[in-house]
């Protein structure tokens, strides 16, 4: 009896794990479309820049940033990450964050800022998580290695 | 009696450290990804410790947390409160007290739990492999009559556990999805409230697991399972199961509501009921 319940619980968990891989209703790379294509991404990046300006923690890192250039490269990068038809012409992620001393808390604050911006852009939870999951692997390149 | 006071002192100490450290709230990790406090005071779900340390602290931060949990079973009331400090996302220290009382005027049984957890590897959200931690819980029961009359071997004991936890940002239905497995080496009877060891078994490895999905930034639903030993032939002990919904209004507060099915507890059959827990992290 005990073994049976244990087994059924493991099966339930396993099926949950498997489902996470194959329940996605959309093909893998319609994220670009979900973000509203290039116009949607431009709108999101504008909101993102506004949110950065309002964040006490993140703003100081952008004091010397050329915002026009940042906006352009950010749009290219998100377009590329979401499977859109763009080429990224900016510096490498490591290069552009060099010497900024971004620590874990700063990175998390930036992610929180991005989430607020995605909320304001009206993206669904699913779209937000899909974009976040593609930004997350860049964490190692953004943060200062100690 | 003295140890009872130690827990309260630790509790107050954490409260004070909060008051003085109040301006530097931990920025920490993504909302809801730090979990909450278990009934034994370590960071985790409701009954299973996770690899994450309590609170949202990063490698540059120290975080304190306090919690209080109340469980209303068919024939018993259980409650627990405690405090934890997580230092630089590496070491967690916790002190807590657990109490069970029969609803028919029985004397309450209390125990203290002192825990340490050390993060060995990874970050549940960002590293490729699951975050892994090792933990130790030293427990001693303060009201020993029940343990003695049921012929438990000892009045205090130590649990050792390994936890592996992974959170996928784009998991089930594109939701943040958590999965945890814990292996615990223990001889505790009903957490330790009925003493340690017995005539059936002694120390052994037990399997525990949690699965949760964040519906959105503030709400999580999930289930937990905790294998229990049945060391005492006088009173059977069943595996614990629970389903929960948790609300994270901010990184400083979490509220967990759960429905537990604990099976046979201290001679009473089929114990189930609601669980409510509050946690504050500073």
Assigned domain for B282 exists: no
When CB atoms are compared, the residue of A12, A104, A112 closest to B59 is A104
How do the pLDDT tens digits run along chain B, 282 residues long?
A: 455 666 665 666 555 555 544 444 555 678 888 899 999 999 999 999 999 999 988 888 899 999 999 999 999 999 999 999 999 999 999 999 999 999 987 899 999 999 999 999 999 999 989 999 999 999 999 999 999 999 999 999 999 999 999 999 999 999 999 999 999 999 999 999 999 999 987 899 999 999 999 999 999 999 999 999 999 999 999 999 999 999 999 989 999 999 999 999 999 999 999 999 999 998
Closest by Cα among B203, B189, B114 to B147: B189
Assigned domain for A80 exists: yes
Assigned domain for B148 exists: yes
Q: What is the CATH number of the domain that holds B141?
A: 2.40.160.40
Q: Provide the chain B residues 202-231 that lie in CB contact (below 8 A) with chain A.
A: 207, 209, 211, 215-217, 223, 225, 227
Please give the residue that has the higher pLDDT: either A98 or A73: A73
When CB atoms are compared, the residue of A13, A111, A136 closest to B211 is A13
Q: Tens digit of pLDDT for each residue in B232-273?
A: 999 999 999 999 999 999 989 999 999 999 999 999 999 999
Token representation of residue B227: 């294998």
Structurally, chain B folds into a number of domains equal to 1
| Nearest chain B CA: its distance from A66 CA (Å) | 27
When CB atoms are compared, the residue of A10, A112, A130 closest to B174 is A130
Assigned domain for A19 exists: no
Range of the domain at B253: 2-274
Q: With an 8 Å Cβ cutoff, is B60 touching chain A?
A: yes
Its ipTM equals 0.81
Assigned domain for B217 exists: yes
In angstroms, the CA B126 to CA B169 distance is 9
CB of B155 closer than 8 Å to CB of B141: yes
- Using a CB-CB cut-off of 8 Å, the residues of chain B touching A105 are 26-28, 58, 60-61
SS3 readout for chain A? CHHHHHHHHHHHHHHHHHHHHHCCCCCCCCHHHHCCHHHHHHHHHHHHHHHHHHCCCCHHHHCCCCHHHHHHHHHHHHHHHCCCCCCCCCCCHHHHHCCCCCCHHHHHHHHHHHHHHHHHCCCCHHHHHHHHHHHHHHHHHHCCCC
Assigned domain for A11 exists: no
In angstroms, the CA A45 to CA A79 distance is 11
Assigned domain for B281 exists: no
Q: Tens digit of pLDDT for each residue in A32-68?
A: 999 999 999 999 999 999 999 999 989 999 988 899 9
**Nearest-CA residue of chain A relative to B176?**
A129
Range of the domain at A112: 27-142
Token representation of residue A140: 């190692």
Q: What is the CATH number of the domain that holds A81?
A: 1.10.490.10
How many residues are given for chain A?
146
- Cβ separation B209–A112 shorter than 8 A: no
Question: CA angle, B103 as apex, B101 and B106 as ends, to 5°?
Answer: 55
**Test mutation, B47, B62, B170, B237, chain A, max A CBs within 10 A:** B170
Predicted local distance difference test score (pLDDT) of residue B201:
76
Assigned domain for B280 exists: no
- Cβ separation B209–A9 shorter than 8 A: yes
Assigned domain for A15 exists: no
| Nearest chain A CA: its distance from B113 CA (Å) | 27
When CB atoms are compared, the residue of B28, B207, B227 closest to A108 is B28
When CB atoms are compared, the residue of B173, B211, B215 closest to A23 is B173
Structurally, chain A folds into a number of domains equal to 1
């Amino acid at each position: 009896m005990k073994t049976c319940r244990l087994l059924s619980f493991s099966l339930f968990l396993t099926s949950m794990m498997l489902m996470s891989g194959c329940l996605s209703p959309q093909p893998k790379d319609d994220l670009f479309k979900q973000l509203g294509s290039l116009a949607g991404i431009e709108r999101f990046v504008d909101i993102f820049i506004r949110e950065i300006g309002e964040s006490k923690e993140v703003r100081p890192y952008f004091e010397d940033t050329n915002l026009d250039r940042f906006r352009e490269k950010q749009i290219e990068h998100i377009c590329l990450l979401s499977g859109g038809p763009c080429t990224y012409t900016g510096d490498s992620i490591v290069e552009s964050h060099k010497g900024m001393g971004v620590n874990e808390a700063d990175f998390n604050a930036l992610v929180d800022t991005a989430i607020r911006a995605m909320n304001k852009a009206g993206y669904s939870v699913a779209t937000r998580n899909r974009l976040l999951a593609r930004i997350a692997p860049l964490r190692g390149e953004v943060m200062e290695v100690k | 009696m003295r140890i009872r006071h130690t827990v309260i002192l630790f509790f107050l100490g954490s409260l004070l450290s909060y008051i003085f450290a109040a301006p530097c709230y931990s920025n920490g990790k993504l909302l809801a990804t730090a979990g909450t406090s278990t009934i034994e005071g370590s960071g985790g779900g409701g009954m299973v410790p996770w690899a994450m340390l309590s609170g949202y602290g990063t490698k540059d931060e120290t975080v304190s947390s306090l919690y209080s949990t109340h469980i209303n079973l068919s024939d018993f009331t259980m409650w627990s409160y405690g405090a934890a400090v997580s230092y630089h996302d590496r070491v967690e220290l916790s002190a807590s007290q657990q109490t069970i009382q029969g609803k028919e005027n029985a004397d309450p049984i209390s125990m203290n739990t002192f825990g340490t957890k050390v993060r060995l590897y990874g970050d549940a959200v960002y590293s490729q492999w699951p975050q892994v931690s090792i933990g130790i819980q030293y427990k001693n029961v303060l009201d020993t009559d029940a343990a003695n009359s049921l012929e438990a071997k000892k009045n205090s004991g130590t649990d050792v556990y390994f936890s592996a936890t992974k959170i996928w940002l784009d998991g089930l239905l594109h939701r943040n999805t958590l999965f945890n497995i814990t292996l615990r080496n223990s001889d505790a009877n009903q957490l330790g409230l009925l003493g340690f060891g017995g005539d059936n078994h002694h120390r052994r490895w037990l399997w525990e697991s949690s699965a949760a999905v964040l519906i959105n930034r503030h709400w999580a639903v999930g289930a937990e399972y905790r294998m229990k030993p049945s060391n005492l032939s006088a009173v059977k002990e069943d595996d614990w199961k629970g389903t929960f919904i948790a609300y994270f209004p901010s990184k400083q507060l979490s509220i967990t509501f759960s429905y537990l099915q604990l099976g046979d507890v201290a001679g009473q059959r089929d114990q189930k009921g609601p669980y409510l827990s509050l946690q504050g992290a500073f």
